[in-house]
Structure 1
Amino acid sequence: MKIYTKQQLALRNGQDKPEIWVAYQGVIYDVSSSRLWKKGMHYEHWAGQDLTEELPDAPHTEKVFEKFQAIGQLA
């Protein structure tokens, strides 16, 4: 899997580039196809960042990432 920096991930926020990516536990997922991530925002969470620390507060588990393609690793 390709390795991306935090800066490269940050550009995939739904604003700067058309891709909408998030990271969880070092894996980067493409959430562009999700209607819940349109415009790079999902409730109070922004795309282009590592959501590992924020997931415990979510109403769902990490299984939600199984719906999305893992496209890389966070450096």
Structure 2
Amino acid sequence: MQEFTVEEIARYNGKDGEKAYVVYNGKVYDVTESVFWSEGEHMGLHEAGNDLTEALDTEAPHESFALDACPVVGTIKK
């Protein structure tokens, strides 16, 4: 499994043909194929290429299990 820095994840924003990756609790999820992440945006509230741990834990109307359908492609370097 690949290790990413936060800076590397920022490139995977789902724009201009890039894959769309998000981070939750240190794991990197590929949300590129999710219908909920069109062009790297989720419901107009979140953007791919970011760590969404805090947002999912405090703001999201759903639990983190929503990411379970997306492949884990790596982890964040500590």
Alignment of 1:1-75 (within 5 A): 1-15=1-15, 17-43=17-43, 44-55=45-56, 56-75=58-77
Identity of aligned residues (%): 37
* Count of aligned pairs between the two proteins: 75
Structure 1 residue ranges (4+ consecutive) displaced by more than 6 angstroms after TM superposition? none
- When the two chains are superposed, the root-mean-square deviation of aligned CA atoms in Å is 1.1
Query: What is the DSSP-based 3-state SS (H/G/I as helix, E as strand, rest coil) of the residue aligned with 2:72?
Result: strand
Amino acid across the alignment from 2:72: A
Unaligned runs of 5+ in 1: none
Unaligned runs of 5+ in 2: none
Amino acid across the alignment from 1:13: N
| TM-score calculated relative to the size of structure 2 | 0.89
Amino acid across the alignment from 1:14: G
